[in-house]
Amino acid sequence: MNNVKFLLPYGDSLREFLSQPGITRADVKVILRRRGVFFSNDEKSYTIPLLIKTGISPFELEELIDKVRTKEDNPKVQTQSIPWAGGDSKLLDAIPSEINIQQIVDQPFSNYKVLGAPNFKAVDGNQDHIEMEFKVERHDLTMSWDKNTSQFSGKITLKKDSNNVDVSMSLNHTSPETKYVVDRLSRSVIKDMKEHGFVDRNAAVRKIRFNDFTNTNRIQFLQELVQSQLSSKLYFKDTKDIGFRPDKKEKLPDDISWMEDKIKNLILQGHDLHTTFFVKDKKYHQFLEVYRIEAEYSFEYDDYSGVCHIKFDFSDFISRDKYDAELAIRVESLSFTDKNISVSSSSVKEKLLSQLEASKLILHDKFKQTTL
């Protein structure tokens, strides 16, 4: 058979496929529970061997592939800014007319490449609002049973404010490869602007990091960012998920002392979580390291409306114990209640995320530690 897409993976090929980060232990557990198999320990090191022995069905394989693709296709946005020193000069004039993105990325032995020769262009004719969109093509070398190629999109957007004070940057990525590209691209653009005097050589890029805030201010920052979206385009409805852990550097009050030495990470899921005592009672805020909130919103545009869940997450804080983890925002789920035109979910997600751009940096200024 020439087309290996019709072959189910087994043995080492199946192990490599199931072990990739895009497939979580919860994904594996769902398949096993559907079969009536339950584990007291659902770590993948325990559950994957059983699937390797018993194999997976075409339906289960397609389900897992879709989960990986959905997670990687989902746009994630990080926001940065840097002071502008170019006066009335247009932002587009501060960017080289031709950018060699292949040279900037400089990954000659990687399993992916940036397609074509993308460059910055003005958004709606505004030369102080520019963006570059690109696509990355990845060859899945680890999947010996299915050596296909996958494409992922990324985008970097720069916008100069009307007072010629700051340039905000939105880094939009959908996979580890596109995240690497936007990071390298943003560094190259800033370096070039510094060399040509559009940005002061000693200016630092401002990012929204976990350790920019005290525990109390971080909760206030996330609460306002999440709940202050009250326009028809994006209207806050409910808090669905909160992730936090007790601060190991603080002695907990008696009424929550049960968390000491027992709770490394606590995730609350449900309804109206912003009304629980952990969040509502400010006396606990200094003792809690809140690193993620997921909220439900409704949205309404001229040609479509619906509901979505958006996650605000300092993900590297809990996964890698990084206190300088950067805030990333992504749309976890999206459904339409009314749609009069053909529009992709990805483009709607980007539009929804853009609604949060203005308030992120304003609230960062409001709540960050003044000593930083």
Q: Does residue 117 fall inside a structural domain?
A: yes
Element (H, E) at 200: none
213 — pLDDT class (breaks 50, 70, 90): very high
Contacts of 225 (CB under 8 A, 6+ apart): 312, 356, 359, 360, 363
Residues 352, 231: Cα–Cα separation, whole Å:
12
Report if residue 236 sits inside a domain: yes
Q: Which domain does 22 fall in, by range?
A: 4-72
pLDDT averaged over every residue in the chain: 86
The whole-angstrom separation of Cα 180 and Cα 201 is 24
Share of the chain above pLDDT 70, in %: 92
Same domain, 94 and 227: no
Q: Is 143 in the same domain as 129?
A: yes
Domain stops at, among 189, 207, 225: 207
| Res. 3 pLDDT band, cuts 50 70 90 | very low
Mean pLDDT of 330-343: 85
Q: Is residue 372 part of a domain?
A: no
Stronger pLDDT, 289 or 74, i.e. the higher one:
289
Does residue 284 fall inside a structural domain?
yes
Tokens representing residue 134 in the block: 């690109």
Q: How many domains does the chain have?
A: 3
CB burial readout 21-48, b (16+ within 10 A) else e: ebbebebbbebbeeeeeeeeeeebeebb
**How much is the average pLDDT of 275-300?**
89
Same domain for 257 and 292? yes
Whether residue 307 is predicted with pLDDT greater than 90 in this model: the reply is yes
d(CA 357, CA 170): 8
* In a shared domain, residues 31 and 96: no
Boundary-marking domain end, from 150, 184, 207: 207
Query: Domain holding 120: CATH number?
Result: 3.30.310
182 and 322 in one domain?
no
- Looking at 207, 231, 259, which one is the last position of a domain? 207
Q: Which pLDDT belongs to residue 372?
A: 44
Is there a single domain that holds both residue 249 and residue 361? yes
pLDDT of 4 above 50: no
Q: How far apart are CA 70 and CA 24, in angstroms?
A: 13
State whether 115 and 137 are in the same domain.
yes
Cβ neighbours of residue 70 closer than 8 Å, sequence gap 6 or more: none
What per-residue confidence (pLDDT) applies to 14? 84
Instruction: Tell whether the model's pLDDT for residue 72 goes beyond 60.
Output: no
The pair of structure tokens assigned to 318 is 């809990």
Which distant-in-sequence residues (6+ apart) come within 8 Å of 92 by Cβ?
120, 122, 127, 128, 130
173 plus 240 within the same structural domain: no
> Residue 71 has what pLDDT?
58
Instruction: Output the pLDDT for position 244.
Output: 93
Query: Is the pLDDT at 34 greater than 70, yes or no?
Result: yes
- Position with higher pLDDT, 111 vs 236: 236
Confirm whether pTM is higher than 0.85. Answer: no
Q: What is the pLDDT of residue 42?
A: 78
**pLDDT digits 0-9 by tens, 127-172:** 999 999 999 988 764 454 444 677 888 999 999 988 888 999 999 9
What's the rounded mean pLDDT across residues 109-123?
88
Say which range, 18-27, 218-227, 246-255, 353-362, has the weakest mean pLDDT: 18-27
Give, in order, the Cα–Cα distances in Å from 171 to each of 59, 220, 271: 35, 24, 31
Q: 216 and 331: one domain?
A: yes
Do 275 and 359 lie in one domain? The reply is yes
Q: Say what the pLDDT of residue 193 is.
A: 95
Indicate if 57 and 160 belong to the same structural domain.
no
User: 45 and 128: one domain?
Assistant: no
